[in-house]
Structure 1
Amino acid sequence: MIKNYLKIAWRNLWRNKFFSIINIMGLALGMACSVLIILWVQNELSVDSFHKNNDRLYAVIERQYYDHKVMGQYSVPGVLADEMKKTLPQVEYAVQMAWNNQNTFQVGTKILKLEGTSASADYFKMFSYPLIQGNAQTALNSPLSIALSRKMAVDFFGSPQEAIGKTIRYENKKDFKVTAVFEDLPHNVANKFEFLINWDSFLDENKWAKDWGNNGPIAYVMLRTGTDAALFDKKIAHFLDTYDKDQSAAFREQLGIQKFEDVYLHNNFKNGKPEDGRIEYVHLFSIIAVFILVIACINFMNLTTARSVKRAREIGVRKVVGAVRSVLIRQFVGEAVLLTCFATIIALVIVLLLLPVFNSVTQKQIDFPFGQIRFWLGLTGLTLITGLLSGSYPALFLSSFNPVKVLKGAVKLSTGAAWFRKGLVVFQFVLSVVLIIGTIVISKQVNYIQKKNLGYDRENLIYIPLEGDLTAKYKIFKNEALNMPGIQQVTRISDAPTNFGSTTGGVRWDGKDPNVNVMFTQVSTGYDFVKTMKLKLVSGRDFSRDHATDSVGYIINETSLKRIGYTNPIGKPFTMWGKKGTIVGVLKDFHFNSLHDPILPLIIHFGEENNYGMALIRTKPGQTKQALASAEKLCKELNPNFQFSYYFADAEYQKQYISEQVVGKLSNAFAFLAIFISCLGLLGLAMFTAEQRIKEIGIRKVLGASVGSLFTLLSKEFLILVLIALCIASPLAWLAMHKWLENYSYRTTIDWWVFVLSGVIAIMIALVTVSIQSAKAALMNPVKSLRSE
């Protein structure tokens, strides 16, 4: 019997090739999209989740209470991890780490700049990164020890085995001994690095990190087996009270922990606790995958039932000869599953073809999981569920035909069934219109970010790290650079102009409330900073060689002035870190961090003589290539042991919004796909309606109805369905996008025209879809449609 069912199913597919192709391709596209999203979601969920001791690994977080608010962060004192391990019996291992840096290494004549960081000795005891050479217990024990990745070891020494015990020159000032070589990090690691340097070496170079009142590094702990994490979290809340004596009623700190594997997806702090983050995108795209698959299933239902009249006599005859309804249901569900199997095969081909493009868009390195049994079991389940879901209604509908009426040629659609199918089309277009509106709003926000006036000119602005001999020779570099082709202005700055990350509460001024601690962002700059950045001064001036007192001068922004409260701030006393001085300038507010965050109070202090930071260069318009060539030539002369590196301020600014750009591109693709599949469903309903009303149309034509009036008659009900979908989708989309935009302190508006444009797009697409079938029905010869009468 099963063989007979398969034969019937195959003959039906072959007899209706056009219908079968549309049906299978609709399902295949929906499934391909869902599979791609599932692969992306699996990749996101797998990040940092592979460590053997993940159930005991935790990141230490710090909550700061000041200025009537609670702020959370991962930055902690640089000596915290070691102290926690010494004093807390629940902690088996603890690691302190710095942020990633680009550092220069040299072996012989080979010089490379690579990204890495510093970590304390317990790192390889806690985290499951395989060591090719060396021992996890001793890999980072010595202050001058360094662990290299396989790639770095091969680049410098030819092989991991040859690297062990060899020395490698660091920043042309220190020699490290290679004590371990670890396997190149997998793609699902959030924090990628090519080397790890012993933590003591970091502390030697960064004395400030030893102060309990300074934050910056991050800390991880591994709890002993059986430790209650919730109780431990409560126990360490006031751990810093013993060590940081700067706490007061105006400023206090508390510690907490967060599971290490959750940090990647939940790293946005709200009220001092990590909650949202990339997990929102995981949820968003998971919902979109379900939406598109449901749209594809609805499309299948409508197309299948649209062809019901063609199979009505077959069903009638089979019922007359004894076929029961349950047998017919199994047959039609089986046909749906068979179609879905074909669709799955095509979907897999589409996924394999599109995966490189998908990886490029999402900036991932997702491999197709050929060898994962769990993936194939999941795909099998998805195929069966899709087949059952998409085939259930057609099976119930087709098997319900009355054989007597069918054989008399009177196949009628009940009112309830008609409303159900129209409801499915409305539901399809609700999901599609939500995606269209969401796509437009996301595009508006991305465009807003790209064109937002930041308060400075980020075009023609580059910065070069001051490293090696270039640090001490900055004055020479600046003087010579200003006389070279393409270079307009040069200054120095302690942090990248797109990301001022250092904050301080050690600020005093006349009239400050001792019970309120205000946190200021701080950055040090050299002469001509305001001119180079093209910032606007509200009052006062830039740092200048004409003023000897600028070493204790401060420039603040408008937000700082509001918090300080001075009416005429220029020349007023101001103290930071105990260094008394005066305010010499007030800048108009400008964005120095992501648009996700509001503009914070900013203090700019003098740093022309600093031994760190970067040179900030304003190039002449249209002469960036000449400026870079000039800067590279000069750097090689002054700093021959270091590779020349530079960064464009506008490119670094855009990197802050990679997630938004990816979401925008994917939303465009998903919205198009959803509309396309929905149109196939609408086409199915149009075909069904035309077949149901074929005799009515014939009679109307005989009585003199024009083609135009018939076209309008057949098309208007579909437009009504789309309008209903638009009315339902608009408030849903507004709520969803309003919540998404709340992640930005500076955001675009959801204008009325967004909904109008979405409606016009949906209506135009629907009109084009149904017009072909409506025109075909309206132009049909009435003699053919009325022949049986």
Structure 2
Amino acid sequence: MIKSYLKIAWRNFIKNKSHSFINVSGLSVGLACSLLIVLWVQDERSIDAFHANGKLLYQVYERQSHDGKIEASYLTQALLADELKRRIPEVRYASGLEQGHPLTFQSGDKIVKMEGTFAGADFFRMFSYPLLQGTPESALNTPAGIAISRKMAELFFGSAEKAIGKSLRYENKDNVQVTAVFENLPANSSRQFDFLRSWKAFVKENAWVNNWGNFSPATFLQLRADADPDKTAAKVKNFISLYNSETNSNHTELYLQPYAEKYLNSTFKNGQIDGGRIVYVHLFSLAAIFILLIACANFMNLATARSIKRSKEVGVRKVIGAARSSLIVQFLSEALLLTSISIIIAVILVIALLPAFNNLTGKYLFLPVEQPVFWGTISGMLLFTAIVAGSYPAFFLSSLNPVRVLKGSLIFGRGATFFRKGLVVFQFSLSIILIVGMIVIYRQMEYMQTKSLGYNRDNLLYIPIEGDLIKKYDLFKEEVGKIPGIQSVSKMKESPTVIGHTKDDIGWVGKDPNLITPFADATVGYDFVKTMKLKLKDGRDFSRNFSTDSVGYMVNEEAVKKIGYQNPVGQPLSWGSRQGKIIGVLKDFHFNSMHEAIEPLVIRLSENQTWGTILVRVEAGKTKQVIAALEKICKDLNPNFSFTYQFSDQEYSKLYNSEQVVSRLSGYFAFLAIFISCMGLLGLIMFTAEQRVKEIGIRKILGASVSSLFTLLSSEFLVLVVIALLVASPIAWYAMNKWLQGFAYHTLIQWWVFAFSAGLIMLIALATVSFQAARSALINPVKSLRNE
């Protein structure tokens, strides 16, 4: 029986080529789009899900209450991991992890920069990064030890086996010994690194870690299998109070977040975890469902448009004894056939589009044809689409009265008409939401790229302070100053793009002794203000003409508000035990993502810092020549390190990689939604034209003009689009306004965004209905009035 149904379905498919082409095209595009999104969502959810101890792994985050505000971050104290393990019995393993940096290694003539960081001795016991050589217990337990990746081992020594026990020159200052070789990290690891050094070495190199008021590394815990996470969290909560004096209004609390959840949920709001990339996972999951529903709605509309021609077939079948159930199975079989053809085409489209999609999203997605889950997903999409798309035509056509059908008096009721028009409203509502979303996201991206940061990020280069440049910085600055096109040179311990270190031991006259409030801190060299092109509100920059500047400070406007000085220049300020005075007040500038509000900032002078960033301001149009000259100077002064640099504007753009991907994807999704929705609109006007074919013929005989008939046919569809606008606009405003609240600084949703979206949709809708409306209006009335 099913075989016969499929034969009939195939004959109808071949017979009605244009109808079938529109139907298959809409379903194929919708399925391809949905499948790409499913692959992306599955990849996002797989990040960090491969660790064997995943259910026992937690990342610590700190919630700080001060001045009536509650803030939270993943920055923790460097000694925290070891202390938690020592004092909390439920903690089996603990490890700190510092932020990664490209660092230079040398073996023989090979000098290469590799990405890596410092980690605790328990790191490889906690995380499932397979060791090819060495053991988890010994990999990071000595200050001179280093664990390297397979790639790094093969690069320097030819193989993992040959690397073990060998020495590498680290930053041209220390010799480190390879104690372990780990497999190259998988793409679904949120953290990527090629080496890890011992935490003992980190503590040895950074004296500030012994101050519990300093924050920088991340802290990870693995609980014992029999530990109660809630009871452990309760023990950990007030742990910092053992080391820092606190009050009820100013205190720090520790919280535990399951490590597997951190990648998708890493945004804080009012001290609580409040979304992150999970927002985009939900957004795109909904987009996949809605685009698939739009494609299914098209199938329904196009099937209904053909219902008049299929109605007599239904009537004859019912007269000769066909049960309604058999007719339902027949039409569902037809839907299954069309969907099967569509999903084959969709898979081919996905294969063709995957390279471009991967390039767009920065992923390495592929069709996992060897995995049963993939075929389960395909089967699920096939059945879902076939049932949803074929259900309405199946139940509607099978319910037709054979007597009325064979008499030629088939008239569709209000319910059926309302349902079909409702589908079009639904389709265009979603399209409008996507268009508004696309425009708002694009405007926010443009806002962040064009908004004044308080400094000029154009023509500003970052060069790492490393090797001989540490001691030869003054000579480097002198030589670089001779290069034509160089405006100014300075340095900074971190980089202006992201200042991630904070201190809570800043003191001033009149400060409440119980007040603990974090300040972002920066250490800079001379000419910092000039090089950054910052604006001084009061006072001056650090200068060699003032010997007291060695204990002087510059602060931003937010810091002045926090401190409360009316005339801050010349007023005392302390940085821990370091006493000094404020010499200058900088106008606020952004030194983090615009997701975050500008924080109080304290800047001190140090020309002797052993790491950080050299800032080079270049004249516009001379970047290429200057970089060539800088490379030559660096090779002369620092021969054991390869010359590397970053552009400030590019580093700033990296802060918004996720948003940029979303912006581009939303544009494509909006286009696809419009494309598929227009097919639905075309299906509905085809249906209407077939229903009113005799009416149109009579009107033409009575003298109706082509333009009046065109208006008659197209006006009701434009009304549907207007209804869609009224439905979608408040939803789009609410959704995008909520998204914008995730930025401390954002653009406004202007009225013209909705006006533009309305105009665009109306134009596209009018263009869609015009062809069929004009065709129906121009048809020969004699043909329209024939009985057959």
User: If the TM-score is normalised by the length of the shorter chain, which range does it land in?
Assistant: over 0.9
Shift of 1:249: 5.0
Residues 125-157 of structure 1, C-alpha deviations (whole Å, 9 max, x = no match) = 111111122222322222221111111111001
One-letter code of the match for 1:359?
Answer: N
Q: Which amino acid aligns with 1:343?
A: S
Is the Cα contact below 8 Å between 1:213 and 1:246 reproduced in 2? no
Instruction: State the shift of 1:411 in Å.
Output: 2.2
Summarize deviations over 1:643-670 as a string: whole Å, max 9, x none. Answer: 1111110000000011111000000000
Which residue number in structure 2 is paired with residue 702 of structure 1?
701
1:399 aligns with 2:413: no
What one-letter code is carried by the residue in structure 1 that aligns with 2:364? Q
Residues 92-147 of structure 1 show CA distances to partners (whole Å, capped at 9, x for unaligned) of 22212211111100110100000011112211111111112222232222222111
User: Secondary structure of 2:237's match?
Assistant: coil
After TM superposition, give the deviation of residue 166 of structure 1 in Å: 1.0
Structure-1 residue corresponding to 2:554: 555
Instruction: Call closer, same or farther: CA 1:110–1:395 in 2, change over 3 Å.
Output: same
CA distance in 2, matches of 1:704, 1:245: 92
Unaligned runs of 5+ in 1: none
Aligned position for 1:204: 204
Question: 1:37-79, CA deviations, whole angstroms, 9 ceiling, x for partnerless residues?
Answer: 1111111110001111111111122222212122222222222
Correspondence 1:211-360 to 2 at 5 A: 211-242=211-242, 244-249=243-248, 251-360=250-359
Residue 97 (structure 2) pairs with residue 97 (structure 1): yes
Structure 1 distance, partners of 2:54, 2:552, is 49
Distance 2:657 2:341 in 1: 36
CA distance in 1, matches of 2:268, 2:208: 25
Match of 1:674 in 2: 673
User: 2:275 and 2:290 mapped to 1: Cα distance?
Assistant: 23
Q: Distance in 2 between matches of 1:285 and 1:258?
A: 25
Distance in 2 separating the partners of 1:435 and 1:424: 17
Per-residue CA distance 1:697-736 (angstroms, 9 max, x = gap):
0000000000000000000000000000000000000000
Question: What's the CA shift string for 1:428-484, capped at 9, x where partnerless?
Answer: 111111111111111111111111111111100011111111011110110111001
Count of equivalent residues: 788
Residues 354-373 of structure 1: pairs in structure 2 closer than 5 A = 354-373=353-372
Residues of 1 paired with 2:95 and 2:554: CA distance? 38
For 1:183, the aligned partner's letter is E
Structure-2 separation of matches of 1:89 and 1:386: 53
The Cα shift of 1:248 comes to 4.1
TM-score (norm 2): 0.98
Structure 2 unaligned runs (5+)? none
Is 2:742 aligned against 1:743? yes
* 1:272 positional shift: 2.6
Deviations 1:157-212 (A, max 9, x none): 11111111111111111111112111111100001000111111111111222333
Residue 679 of structure 1 aligns to a residue whose secondary structure is helix
Contact in 1 for aligned 2:76/2:215 (Cα 8 Å)? yes
CA shift for structure 1 position 771: 0.6
Q: Are 1:135 and 2:135 counterparts?
A: yes
Does the CA-based 8 Å contact 1:333-1:388 persist in structure 2? Answer: yes
The CA RMSD measured in Å over matched residues stands at 1.3
Contact 1:337 1:384 in 2 (8 A): yes
Indicate the larger mover: 619-628 or 700-709. 619-628
Name the amino acid aligned to 2:104.
Answer: T
- Counterpart contact for 1:332–1:394, Cα < 8 Å: yes
Give the superposition deviation at 1:762.
0.8
The offset of 1:250, in angstroms, is 5.5
Counterpart check, 1:107 vs 2:107 = yes
State which drifts further: 621-630 or 268-277. 268-277
Distance 1:95 1:593 in 2: 26
Instruction: Tell me the TM-score normalized by structure 1.
Output: 0.98
Give 3-state SS (helix, strand or coil) of 1:236's partner: helix
- Residue 481 of structure 2 aligns with which residue? 482
Q: Distance in 2 between the 1:769 and 1:376 partners?
A: 36
Q: Could you tell me how far 1:391 is from its partner in structure 2?
A: 0.4
Once the two structures are superposed, residues 275-328 of structure 1 have per-residue CA deviations (whole angstroms, 9 ceiling, x without a partner) of: 311111111111111110111110110011111112122112111111121111
Q: How does 1:433-444 map onto structure 2 within 5 Å?
A: 433-444=432-443
1:525 maps onto 2:524 in alignment? yes
Distance across 2 between alignment mates of 1:567 and 1:206: 36
Residue by residue over 1:734-786, the C-alpha shift from the partner in whole angstroms, topping out at 9 and shown as x without a partner, is 00000000001110110000001011111111101111000010001100111
Residues of 2 paired with 1:387 and 1:182: CA distance? Answer: 47
Question: 1:558 Cα shift?
Answer: 1.7
Match of 1:472, SS state, is coil
Aligned-partner Cα distance in 2 for 1:570–1:119: 42
Equivalent position amino acid for 2:267 in 1: N
Q: Does 2:150 match 1:123?
A: no
Q: Which amino acid aligns with 2:27?
A: L
Match of 1:666, SS state, is helix
Amino acid at match of 1:154: E
For residues 503 and 586 of structure 1, what CA distance do their matches in structure 2 show? 19
Contact preservation (8 Å) 1:94, 1:222: yes
Q: Which amino acid aligns with 1:588?
A: K
Tell me how far apart the structure 2 counterparts of residues 310 and 664 of structure 1 sit (CA, whole Å).
44
CA–CA distance in structure 2, aligned partners of residues 519 and 198 of structure 1: 28
Which one-letter code corresponds to 1:51 in the other structure? H
- Of 650-659 and 518-527, more deviation after overlay is shown by 518-527
**Residue 61 (1) aligns with residue 61 (2):** yes
Give the aligned residue type for 1:281.
Y
Is residue 471–residue 611 contact of structure 1 (8 Å, CA) maintained in 2? yes
1:775 match: 774
Q: How does 1:179-198 map to 2 (within 5 A)?
A: 179-198=179-198
- 1:543 Cα offset (Å): 1.2
Deviation at 1:553, TM superposition (A): 1.6
Partner of 1:78: 78
Q: 8 Å contact 1:267–1:275 — kept in the other structure?
A: yes
Give the Cα–Cα distance (whole angstroms) in 1 for the partners of residues 568 and 120 of structure 2.
46
What is the letter of the counterpart of residue 468 of structure 2? D
The match for 1:15 is 15
CA offset at residue 525 of structure 1? 1.4
Mapped partners of 2:654, 2:774: distance in 1: 50
Q: What corresponds to 2:597 in structure 1?
A: 598
Cα deviations by residue, 1:220-274 (Å, 9 ceiling, x for unpaired): 11111121101110111122222x1343455322222111111111111233332
Q: Secondary structure at the match of 2:103?
A: strand
- 8 Å CA contact 1:485–1:630 kept in 2: the answer is no
Contact 2:2 2:333 (C-alpha < 8 Å) held by counterparts: no
Identity %: 56
Change (3 A) 1:79 1:582: closer
CA distance in 1, matches of 2:687, 2:244: 78
- Residues 56, 223 of structure 1: 8 Å contact kept: yes
Q: Does 1:646 align with 2:645?
A: yes
CA–CA distance in structure 1, aligned partners of residues 142 and 540 of structure 2: 49
AA of the residue aligned to 2:4: N
* Residue pairs, 1:537-556, within 5 angstroms: 537-556=536-555
Shift of 1:515: 4.2
Tell whether the 8 Å contact from 2:77 to 2:216 is kept in structure 1 after alignment.
yes
> Secondary structure at 1:777's aligned position in 2?
helix
Query: Match for 2:171: what amino acid?
Result: E
Q: Is the 8 A contact 1:250 1:514 kept in 2?
A: no
State the 1:18 CA deviation: 1.2
Preserved contact between residue 249 and residue 515 of structure 1 (Cα < 8 Å): no
CA 1:319–1:728 in structure 2 vs 1: closer, same or farther (change >3 Å)? same
Question: What does residue 458 of structure 1 align with?
Answer: 457
Task: Give the distance between the partners of 1:340 and 1:611, measured in 2 at CA.
Answer: 64
Cα offset, 1:396, TM superposition: 1.2
**Is the CA contact 2:685–2:773 (under 8 Å) kept in the aligned structure 1?**
yes
Q: In terms of mean alpha carbon deviation, does 359-368 or 400-409 score higher?
A: 400-409
